[in-house]
Structure 1
């Protein structure tokens, strides 16, 4: 549904008034600029639509549907990107496997799966939550700061408490477009 001329004019008027710049000429010029051929899209056709089955890496977009790395494309409306390239040639992770086994013992595979799920851009078919809980001094914060933040980038990791997540009023859109919440 197209946005009406009246609602655009009102939004321009309100914004110009709020910053002390309203004149009829400024309003007219702003309206003409907005309608000067800049293609407008509806919310549901941009960031409001269900996420594409893709994940943004430094060297391209991994398409989960095709299993291929594609060139970056603004059609995805990604908010964030990892700070490292995806290496599609080397599927062996023997050093990572050793490190996770040393750090997490029998829980290594579970943590690796959970991290893998974090790269998947949908809650279907998997809906999972992991809580790392212990008395302290066992590496939870170190793991978060040095592994998770390095893997996803600190700009892509939210830190919303369980209490806040349970309160729908608090979490409305605050976690939108983060890769993971720690």
Structure 2
């Protein structure tokens, strides 16, 4: 039982209906709390001030993901567009010119860089060995430096007596479908008659 003086002043009294302690009085007979004339209590975590979200996340919608955990705006300039892997790989590599010299002489061809030799018999054999060797040189160059993308071209150097060798070498590159740019240096003038109209 609360003291009589506490009951008279309203302190320590119990609510008649619920049995819970009544709100303390401010001395004027009115209770301080959730009454119509008292101060209102603001619940934490539900405020929308400052861009906060209803989930209680203090960061609100600030940032790419927001409070809902969903991805950010696809139009955001800080989000990189998704690209095809091969396209991105090409953009990251540096294209480097690569000239392969095919020296044609009476004893076959010599390929530079590398100094690979192909005899006249092997050159005329089945399998288009010259085209395979040219592709192997380019592939090896790319394996040595993976950050580059070679742009190959062929320079035929025709030595005296190398017309027949050049004839076979050029035939193989055309038939095999190598569409690399081609240049020509000659010391045997018969080579100029190989392709009428200046084509070689």
User: Would the TM-score normalized by the shorter structure come out above 0.5?
Assistant: no
- Larger gyration radius, structure 1 or structure 2: 2
Query: The TM-score by the shorter chain falls in which range?
Result: under 0.3
What TM-score, normalized to structure 1? 0.24
Quick check: which one's strand share is greater?
2
User: Quick check: which one's helix share is greater?
Assistant: 1
TM-score, scaled relative to structure 2: 0.22
